[in-house]
């Protein structure tokens, strides 16, 4: 008969590790930054320089994403559709890509005819300010620059709940 002690020891250690890591995970519908001013950042890529605060006065949908991320690609059509519908109401989608490969990133944007402003931040400096660790991760920022909502994972940007929320801002 084999000794079960190493297996039990591994399971116990793994359980303890999991208990210590869980509190660090996002598990609340109201993260601590909601209701505070969004951290400002500037991203300079080969195409443009963008500073978050330049959009003050608009509702900003700040979307951290990547071309290689299946959930990011999944939500892209509805995000572009929402941008088309809501732009006249002062909603600006700002995509911050963490892609490293500039050529692939540019090809992706062109092939999919991405209609919102996006910049490439391969060093992930801007997403680090927000504590982003999973993609896509999106923040909705009101006209005064205050964080109003955080969404993790792909979103149906055409849903009545999302459209209604954006309209109230």
- 85-110 residue pLDDT tens: 999 999 999 999 999 999 999 999 99
- 14 within domain boundaries: no
Write out the residue range of the structural domain in which residue 58 sits. 33-168
* Number of domains into which the chain is organized: 1
- 86 within domain boundaries: yes
Give the CA distances from residue 161 to residues 97, 111, 137, in Å, rounded to whole numbers and listed in that order. 26, 30, 18
Percent of the chain predicted with pLDDT > 70: 81
Q: Indicate yes or no: pTM above 0.75.
A: yes
Q: What's the count of helices (H) and strands (E) in the chain, helices before strands?
A: 5, 7
Q: What is the mean pLDDT of residues 136-147?
A: 97
- Does residue 18 or residue 36 have the better pLDDT? 36
- 19 within domain boundaries: no
- 123 within domain boundaries: yes
- 71 within domain boundaries: yes
- 18 within domain boundaries: no
Q: What is the mean pLDDT of residues 3-25?
A: 43
- 85 within domain boundaries: yes
- 13 within domain boundaries: no
Long-range CB pairs of 82-87 (<8 Å, 24+ gap) are: 82/157, 82/158, 82/162, 82/163, 82/166, 83/115, 83/116, 84/115, 85/163, 86/59, 86/163, 86/166
List the CATH number of the domain containing 155: 3.40.30.10
pLDDT at 155: 95
- 40-90 residue pLDDT tens: 999 998 889 999 999 999 999 999 999 999 999 999 999 999 999 999 999
């Amino acid at each position: 008969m084999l000794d079960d002690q190493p297996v039990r020891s591994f399971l116990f250690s793994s359980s303890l590790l999991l208990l210590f890591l869980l509190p660090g995970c996002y598990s609340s519908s109201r993260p601590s930054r909601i209701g505070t001013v969004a951290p400002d950042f500037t991203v300079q890529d080969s195409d443009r320089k963008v500073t978050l605060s330049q959009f003050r006065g608009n509702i900003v949908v700040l979307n951290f994403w990547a071309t290689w991320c299946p959930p990011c690609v999944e939500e892209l059509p509805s995000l572009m559709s929402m941008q088309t519908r809501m732009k006249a109401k002062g909603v600006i989608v700002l995509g911050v890509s963490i892609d490293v490969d500039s050529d692939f990133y540019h090809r992706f944007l062109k092939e999919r005819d991405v209609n919102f402003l996006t910049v490439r931040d391969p060093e992930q400096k801007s997403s680090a300010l927000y504590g982003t660790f999973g993609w896509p991760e999106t923040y909705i920022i009101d006209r005064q620059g205050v964080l109003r909502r955080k969404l993790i994972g792909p979103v149906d940007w055409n849903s009545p709940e999302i459209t209604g929320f954006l309209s109230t801002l």
